[in-house]
Structure 1
Amino acid sequence: MDDKIITLFQYVKDKNGVEKTKSRNWYSRCYLDGKTRQRSTKTDDLKTAIDISKKWYGKMLSKLDDGVPTERLDREDHLFDELAMEWLDLCKRSSETGHRHKNYYKDHNISYKNYIQPFFKDDYVEQIDTPRLLQWQKWRESRRIKSPDLLQTRLKKEYTVIFQILQMGLDKGFITGRPEKPMSLIRQMGSVKRPPSRGTFTSSEYKKLLQVSRQRIRNAKETRKEQIKLKEDKNKKSFGGGWEQYILVRMYLHYYIILLGHTGVRPYELQRVRHKDIVMVDDDDDERKHLEIFIIGKRRDRTIISKYGGFFSYRGLCKHICPDHKPDDLIFPTNPYLNFRELLIESGLRYSINGDRRDAKSLRHFYIMTELQGGTPIEYLTEQCDVSYQVIRDHYARHLQPKMFREQLIKVHHIENP
C-alpha cells in the first residue's frame, strides 16, 4: 500500500463468519506519511463513501503541506474561539486568586469580545496565518469608537491577546508554531503618525495644582468645624457628615501628588510601596534630604531616589495621617485616582494646552521632562524610571524646546584663538 491508495471496506464478518457489527457503514483506510490512517465515512452508500474518502485524503495532504504534525493529520481542527474561552478562563482564575491584577481578566475579555471574537469566531486555530492576521488588522481599522485612527498601542494589546491564545494552541500541540505579525500595515501606521504626545505639566501648572490641593484641604477642615458647631447647637440643623474622611482623602492625595512629582515612578508602583520599603536619608542641607524607596516595578524591581520634596512629603504623611503605622502598612491604602481627576477639573488642568488629557501618570511625565530640562542624563532616567532609552528619546526628549535651555544657550564662552 502506498501514499496514493485509499481502501474502502465494511466490518461485516470476521474470519470465523461471526458478525462483528450491525452497522453497514463504509470505512476508509490509507497509508500516509509513514502511518496507517483509518476513519468511518458514516454512510452505507458506496458512492457517497468514495466522495467522503477523497475529501478526507485531500484534506490530510493539504495539512501535510502546511506543516501540520503527522499525528494530527487525521484529527479535527480546533476552533479559535473555543481555545480563547479556555484561555480567558485561566485569566479569570489568575485575577480571582490574586496572581494577576484584578483588571487583568476584565481588560483582556473586553478586547477579545469587542475586537477579536467577531472576526475569528468561525476560524480554526490551525488556519490562522499571517495573511489572515493582516485581514483582521484591516477589518479592525473600521471598528473605531472614540478616535478616527487605530493607535499602535491599542493594536499591540490586542495582538498580545491573539498570540497568547495561539501560544496555548502551540502548547497543546494543535499547531507547530505561531504566525508572524504582519508588519507592512504596522510600519505604514508608524510612518504617518508621530509617537503620541504625553500629557504633562509645566512648573507653574504643577504649583497651581498643589495650591488648589491645599485650598481643598483647608475648605474641608473649615466645613468640618462648621459641622461640629451646628451639632453642638441643638437649635440648628447639621448637614451631611463624613468630612473627617474627606480631609483624610484630600491629605493623602496631596502627599501622593508630591511623591509622584519628586520620584517619577508609575502611579501603581507607588501604591505598592509599604513603609518598610522607605529609608529616610537626612542631611544638614535641606535640599540634600531624600528618600530611598524600594519599588516593585513593571520591568524590574529597583531602589529609586526621591528629591527633597519627597522627603518632606513622606515625613508630613507619617506625622499628620499615620503616626502609628506599621512597617507592612501601605503608605497609600486607597487609590486616589478619582479624587485626582476631581482636583484636575477643579484646577482647570484636566487638559493641556494641546488637548492632551492628564491623569496621575502625567506627574511621571512632568518629572522626566523636568529632569531632561535640568540636564539629567538619559541614562540616569532609564534606571530611575524603569524605562528604555528609546522611549525617552521618542516620547519625551522630542518635546524639548530651545527656550527651556535659555540660560545655557545665552551663556558666553570665551574661545581662545588658535
Structure 2
Amino acid sequence: MSRENAVRFGPTPGDGSRFASAWSDLAGIGRDQLRGGFSRHVFDDAEMQLRAWFVEQAQRRGLEVENDRNGNVWAWWGAPAPGAVVTGSHLDSVPGGGAFDGPLGVVSGLLAVDELRLRGVTPDRPLAIACFMEEEGGRFGLPCLGSRLLTGAVDPDHVRRLHDADGVSVADAARRVGFDPSTMGPDPARLASIGTFVELHIEQGRLLRSVDPLAVIGVASEIVAHGRWRITVSGQGNHAGTTAVADRHDPMIPAAAAVLAARRVLSGFEGAVATIGRITPVPGGTNVIASSVALWLDVRHTDALVTAAIVDAIVAEVRAEAAAEGCTVMVQRESMSDQVAFDPGLGLEISGRLGAPVIPTAAGHDAGVFAAHVPTAMVFVRNPAGVSHAPDEHADADDCAVGVQALATVLETLLT
C-alpha cells in the first residue's frame, strides 16, 4: 500500500461502509447509562458477550478458537506452530470508556483475514487473532493481566487474590464464567510459538496529526515509562457538623493536596503527565469527615527514573499536608512499566511499506508486554479529536478501513 493511496486518497470506495457494518454488532454491548460510553470489564456480562461474538465471528470464518490457561481467546488460521504471526488486542474497557480502544484491533484482525483471502493469500505460517483479558485493569486494577500472566511478568497467586470494588476476586470471577483460575500462570510453549506480534489500535492523543496532518495511520516506536500508585491517607472519622476545625484530622485535606500536586510538580519535568483519576473516601457520607481516603495516581514519562522522581515529589507534598492535619500516609505501587522500545527493524519495515510516520505513545498496551519477548509492532489509526478513555473517543469508518487494509498488508508480508 503506497503512502499516496493509503494516506492521501483514503480507502477503496465502500470499504468504510463494510467496516461500519461489521462494527455495528458491538454498538449495543456494555453501554454505561450512568457514565456514558461503555463499561466492559473482564469476566462481566458485557465482556463475555463480546467474547461470544468474537468466537462466532471467528468460527464463521473457519478459524479454530481456543481459550488459554489465562483467560485469553485465540482464533487460528492454520494449526498453531512455532513462528506464528499474532495480531489482536482486547475487548475490555475503562469505566465509561470509548468504543474503539481495544475492540478496533480485534475487529480489524477479523476483517484483515477477509481481506487476505480476497487477495488470494495462502499463509506459509499460522496466523492467530488474540483477545487478551483485563488489558485496562478496569475491574481488578492491574493492567495487561492476560499478557502479563502468559509471559510470566506477574505472580499468578497475586493475580488470583486481586479483588474488584465489590470484593469479588479474580479467582471467583473466573470460576463464575467457567475458567479454572488454578491454571493461571506462565505459558512458555505458547509464548515460544509466537514469531511476531502486531497490534492495531486507535491513536490515543493527536501526536500523529502534529507529525503529519494528512496521515491516517502511524507506526509506534515506543511506549513511555508509566505506573500506577495507590495513596491511602488515614485520619479520624467524625461528625461534619459538630467537630470544630481545630479538632479535625481530615484525610480529605491531604488528598486534595495530592490532586493539586499532580499538576503543580510537572513544571519541573518536561514531557511528563500525572493524574489522580480516582478518589474513594471511607465511609463516603456527605455529613461525615472521612476516616480514610484512597487515591490512585498515574504518572508517565519517557524515563522511568524521572517517573519515580515525579511520584516522590507528589508524595512529599501529600506527607507534608498530612503531618499538618494529623494524618498518616501509605503509598503502594500497583504497577510500573519501564520505557518499551518496539522492534526497530520491524517498525521501519512496516513504516516503509505503509508510508506511515513513526511516533511514540504514552499509553500502555499488551504489545508493550510482548515486546520484551518477541518482535512486536503497533499500527495506529488516527483519532481526529484525540479523545480516548472517554465516550467521545472516535475514529472515522473510512480511516478504520484504511487501518484494516494496512494491517492486512503487514500480515501478508509476515505470512508469506
TM-score, normalising length from structure 1?
0.23
Structure with more helix by fraction: 1
TM-score, normalising length from structure 2?
0.23
Structure with more strand by fraction: 2
Larger Rg: 1
